[in-house]
């Protein structure tokens, strides 16, 4: 069984591989989560849509992997331990070609080697710039 820190680092590796075209990572990434989970993106510009299951996460990763971000990588990785042995905080930056960066912090609760809860604080505007979807996001925000 992986430690919470090992699970976090394996997740980052899978995310990089997925964004660089390895579609096999969709199932691998979903497999890091419990069947029933609670994943949220509290800072999502269009509102948080909780992901309550491994299957919902599989669909989320499949959609995220379709962006195909050139030169996608993860840098500046730090893992912070808490007084709760199930909880780790991962701090990192997504980067890619075109010199874009999207800082991220994810708070994971990992039990028995799988993620049961996650709060993902991601620079969604940075990702929208990277994927050339900023205009579409702005249009959605102004029509909501």
Q: Please check the confidence at residue 91 and state whether its pLDDT lies above 70.
A: yes
Q: Residue 105's pLDDT is what?
A: 97
Q: Residue 65's pLDDT is what?
A: 63
Q: Residue 130's pLDDT is what?
A: 78
| Of the candidates 11, 126, 28, 19, the residue with the CA atom closest to the CA atom of residue 79 | 11
Q: Which domains does the chain show, CATH number per domain?
A: 4-143 (3.10.450.50)
Q: How buried is 42 (Cβ within 10 angstroms: 0-12 exposed, 13-18 middle, 19+ buried)?
A: exposed
Triad 62, 73, 126: Cα angle to 5°? 75
Alpha-carbon distances of 66 from 18, 23, 25, 36, rounded to whole Å:
9, 9, 12, 25
State the Cα–Cα distance between residues 11 and 88, nearest whole angstrom: 13
Q: What confidence tens digit (pLDDT) does each residue in 109-141 have?
A: 999 889 999 999 999 888 888 778 889 889 999
Q: What confidence tens digit (pLDDT) does each residue in 33-68 have?
A: 999 999 999 999 999 999 999 999 999 999 876 666
Paired tokens of 136: 């579409």
């Amino acid at each position: 069984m992986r430690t919470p820190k090992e699970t976090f680092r394996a997740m980052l590796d899978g995310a990089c591989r997925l964004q660089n075209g390895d579609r096999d990572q969709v199932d691998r990434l979903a497999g890091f989560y419990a069947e029933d989970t609670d994943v949220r993106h509290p800072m999502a510009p269009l509102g948080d849509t909780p992901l309550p299951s491994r299957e919902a996460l599989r669909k989320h990763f499949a959609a995220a992997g379709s962006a195909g971000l050139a030169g996608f990588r993860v840098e500046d990785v730090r893992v912070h331990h808490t007084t709760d042995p199930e909880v780790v905080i991962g701090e990192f930056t997504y980067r890619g070609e075109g010199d874009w960066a999207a800082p991220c912090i994810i708070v994971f609760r990992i039990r028995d080697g799988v993620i049961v809860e996650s709060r993902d604080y991601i620079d969604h505007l940075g990702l929208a710039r990277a994927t050339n979807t900023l205009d579409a996001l702005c249009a959605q925000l102004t029509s909501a």
